Amino acid sequence: MMSLAGKKIVLGVSGGIAAYKTPELVRRLRERGADVRVAMTEAAKAFITPLSLQAVSGYPVSDSLLDPAAEAAMGHIELGKWADLVILAPATADLIARVAAGMANDLVSTICLATPASVAVLPAMNQQMYRAAATQHNLGILASRGLLIWGPDSGSQACGDVGPGRMLDPLTIVDMAAEHFFACQRSATSQHHDYGGSDA
C-alpha cells in the first residue's frame, strides 16, 4: 500500500449522484497521509453538504468563485498553486465539457486552468451520456492536453441503466493517486540519472 504522505490534493466535486461517495474518498486519502482540500460546484451542494466535507477534510470547503474572504488571498489561484494533484470526482458531463472548452465560470473549472499540477478526471454519468459523441470528444480533448482520465466503471447505475459511467470506488481512486505519484517520482529519478550520465 503506497503512502500519500505529504501530498497535497484538491478534490473538485461536481453535481452528480456519485458525490455521496466523496466523504469516504476524502477520508481514505487522508488515511494514506494526504492533505486534502475540497472545492465544490453549486450543483454539488444538492447532493452533499459543504459541512460534511469540511468535517472529513479538516478544512473549510471552497464553494464560490466570488467568496470575498477567500478572494482577498486570490483563493482559486492559491488552491491551484497549492495542489500536487487535482481530482475531479465526480466529473459530470457538464463539468467535462466546460473544462474541455477552457471555461472558468465556477471555482472548480477555474482551479483546473490555474493549476500547474496534474488533473485527474473521474467521469460519472448515465451510460448514454457517457457514450454520447460530445462527451467522448471532450474526454479526448482532455486526454490530448495531458489530463488523466480515470474510469469510468461499468455496472448498474442509479437511473436503472447498466453500462459504463459509474465513478470508480474511493479505494481505487486512492490507489490510482498513489500510483500516479510513484510514476512521477520514478520518471523524475530516471531523468535525473539520464542527465547525470550525459555529463560523464
Residue 170 CA to chain centroid, in angstroms? Answer: 12
User: Which grid cell is 155?
Assistant: 455496472
Among residues 147, 158, 162, the alpha carbon closest in space to that of 86 is found at 147
- Which residue of the set 101, 158, 159, 162 is catalytic? 159
Q: What is the DSSP string of 25-65?
A: HHHHHHHTT-EEEEEE-TGGGGTS-HHHHHHHHSSPPB--T
**Amino acid type, 55:** A
10 Å Cβ neighbour count for 169? Answer: 16
Alpha helices in the chain (DSSP H): 22-31, 50-57, 68-71, 75-82, 93-100, 107-114, 127-131, 133-144, 170-199
Residue 33 CA to residue 11 CA, distance in Å, equals 15
159 catalytic residue (yes or no): yes
Catalytic residues, by residue number, are 159
